[in-house]
Structure 1
Amino acid sequence: MVSNMAGGQPPWHGTEPDAPLGALEVYAEQAHGYLGASGDQLGKLAGLLRPPVLESWLRSLRGRVDPMDALDDRGLRGADLRRYLQAHPIAALMPLIDKLLVEDTAATGLMVVVADQFGRVLSVQGNDERVAAAAEVGLRAGDDLSERRIGTNAIGLVVRTGRAAWIHGPEHFLYRMRQITGAAAPVHDPDGRLVGVLMIAGGVRVARPEILALVKATATAAEMDLLLTAMRPGQRDAARRDAGRPQPAARLGLDVLGLGQPQLSIADRRIPLSQRQAEILLLLAEHPEGLGADHLALLLDDSDLDNGTIRAAMSRLRAVVGPAVFGSRPYRLHVPVATDVEALRAALDSGDVDSALRLHAGPVLPRSTAPGIIDIRDELRVRLRIAVLKSGDPGVLRRWTSGAEGRDDAAAWTAYRATADPETALYAQIEAKIRVLDRRMGADATRMQRFGA
């Protein structure tokens, strides 16, 4: 082992996994000893960690990630995770990933991890015993591995920087993940947008240059597959014949949050929808088991819509999205539709309040009076508000109270005040706002809001 007591410099220069691992482990363990310190002591981290790891640790510290954070139950699970993966662009790449990575690594004791563009783990494949052991320390399907959530790790670093990365053992910011080594690479779509992350994870054997090279090569192959799919002549001809209508294998996106006109995304095109069309598509997306005409009518209108009206509405919708998107008896989607409602709900499920607020452009179809839409709107509003109040995050509370839904939320302003220094101008501004709300609504009303009534 190498000691740093004499003040020597760590024997690494680049970011490839070719540094002496014994020295790296010793220096990283020493760095963990400084995490509870401050000021000059934190300055010693610069001599102990590789540059990209140091930058990530400092971001983790600024983000108030707890290095002793315990494993919790936040994350997508079961049917929710399967539905999210099915609607995600990376789902089309899973057979390729299986062929290039999973089949060859299954017998080695290593694991193949696939995550989305936010760092949410979509799948962990490998030896059952190793997968179960990894789940016990926080590497499990459905969990959020973004740097903002758990600090330094290979997937989180790729999401943050857009570049391939490897993190070995105690270089992880979380102490509970110190036995894992991960080598990860980004997957981009033909337009250069990050769509996912591939990682090989396991023990010390992963900290070899050829492992990172293998992950990079697989990610490149996945990007080429996406590019070839986008360029395939048959698909372009079909698109021209059908004037942009999706084929049965297509994946659609539905945006219904906020005051703007609801829109349907088909590949790189965006099609404006009427409110009724958006209501129907959202309700079908929320009920993958399908809806009979009578049930759909009740969700769309308190009054008794007759079946003829429902058939006419579905016919108009087919004229926009194409005949292959949904069937009848019952009405059911045949093509996965990824909605911004689903993305917001997934962020809340994983405890990522910051991402949830970014996704929350406004209420669900705010002009809609359909009972089924009102239920979805109220559910999301209540869940988001509770998550904001429980977060205790000054940035989250600032964004909520500056928006339309939180501007007069006395409970949120009170929680925001608790995060501010009483000696600052910000505290005085928040206190003044709370007093205005007290006068406007009365002390009793304010007290009721503070207790969530």
Structure 2
Amino acid sequence: MHAESILQSHERCAALGLSRVDRPDHASLIRSDLALARERNLRLHLHAAPVMELLLEQTMASQSMVVLTDAQGTVLHSVGHDAFLQRASKVALAPGANWSEQNKGTNAIGTTLIDEAPTVVHAGEHYMHANGFLTCSAAPIFDPRGNMLGVLDVSGDLHSYHLHTLGLVKMSARMIENHWLSDDFRHALRLHFHSRPEFIGTLMEGIVAVGRDGRLLGANRSALDQLQMSGAALRMNSIATLFSLTVGAVVDHFRSPMAPPMSMELPGGQRLHMRAAFNWPTWHSLGSTTIDDALDVIDAPSPMAATGGFFAAAAGSRPATPGASPGPSGLRYLQTGDAQMEAAITKVRRVLNRDIPVMVLGETGTGKELMARALHQDSDRARYPFVAVNCASIPESLIEAELFGYEDGAFTGARRKGAVGKIAQANGGTLFLDEVGDMPLALQARLLRVLQERQVMPLGSTKSIPVDLAIVSATHRNLRDMISAQTFREDLYYRLNGLVVRLPPLRERSDLMTIVRKILRAESPSRPLDLDDEVVELLKAYRWPGNIRQLANVLRTAAVMAGSDMVINRTHLSDDFLEDAQRELPSGASVASAAPGQPAHAAPGAAAEPAASAAPATPAATEPATLQEMELRTIQRAVEEAGGNISIASRRLGISRNTIYRKLRLLDSKQG
């Protein structure tokens, strides 16, 4: 099949009159045309850019690059290692160049565009000899209606060929497609299914979007593969004709996030397991259950929350709905007995509903977004959206479109009404600007104007949209130092810091074991888990550079490793954490495990009581003076202790590898 595809491509190239030996045309789009192509494909770029960075890390090859093209084969964006990017530019494998077959002969990008299927073109399989040093793996990217949006490609030196590269590219393309589908149908009912329930929530799951009338609106490729039908055929069906279900039955079943998957049978006899995702305030009227009944059930924290059960519970996992009876306070869930947290919560409560912006400071993983969500949950704006924007994770070229949105017809593949920016999405509710210190300077001026005028103008529009929202920001940086360095606007700083609260790092808190109990209750709601004496001592001795996020990751892993055991012991902890924690025990200390079945503290289901932890160590005179410097030093130390292995350091800190790379670059620039 592969050989036949290459042969057919070569025949097409010969028919086009392309030469195999002549120097190919390396003409690229002029800068203005490339800018126009990028603008037309801005949404594709927005979804693909972070996936491309992740894909580059996964290839782990210094002689490779990741390429994104539009549906005509024009390279829109590329990321890779400098040495190979320079080498690839010699054959015009760079933004602005067109890699369709008619321009570059047989190659993974151009052949994928023709075949509309994943393609590998290795070494001499390229039609043009000039491209023979390359090995390329590409996969098409489709929208939920089956239209091709572009191609994702990994190209590298022919000696870097690996059998699994195409699989990584295909999974990454599916990730982009799933993001696109969720964006297109974020207000629809979405069914996530697979024949094996453990595959729900992975890239293998099928996703189908359903309208309020039960009509099927779109699907990802995995869904079409499992259902064995085309996108056009799927859209001719409804949830009733295909799944023998009603919208009301699905809404009723999944009114609680703790609901088990539904089992359903297709007309052909195939059995599938399914979960549903939907916005409760929008869809609850289609179910038979009353809203108040549903809220009583949803009050339980969901173990499916992406950031861990404790985070979901503390933020208030229930969707806020107009007319619903008030539930437990989001801020109340953050009160676990630590004096510093109590002081911060007391301050925040005093400015609730006063239209005073709040700025939350703290190290990575201390729960800055958690505080912002809890503040929103307790405010009068809880019935409206909470919209979070991480200013550090969005590429600088895309953050403006992400925040302000874009107008109708601004680029290829755009929805008919364009896209609503995060600011407009938060209208009536709360906008959370995480890592606001990483916002580009030029964009700060536009944000300041929005905060002053309470109006936002989408890209490509001449009309302003009025917005009413509360602003909560967060950063680990020292903004005053940035103002002195003229990298942060002083006028924006004073707009954002109506009230500043600082969250203490976990090592300085006195409520460690209370937080541990909350996390374990959320991770294992039906099976109370305890810790033996040795594990308790290790947790207390550890300095937790990744703070609560790292603690949640450690306990989540331990809860899974414990299996049917009721007491977590050291064998259930990951080896890298054990090594780090053991080094931090007092010199000469010996730790004896509790006897089997003898827990070291009250069951997690018991009333939570603050447990004093060791007093925080007094910082040495040489300790970094700012939160940012402390964080950078912590990350640098973790990388050194991991022998330079970024993956190990990432697991130990509980943060992504992308974040570590970005912080190390920042540290290098400071030291340089």
What is the TM-score normalised by the length of structure 2? 0.30
Q: Which structure would you say has the larger RCO, counting Cα contacts within 8 Å and 6 or more residues apart?
A: 1
What is the TM-score normalised by the length of structure 1? 0.43
Determine which structure has the larger helix proportion and give its number.
1
Larger Rg: 2
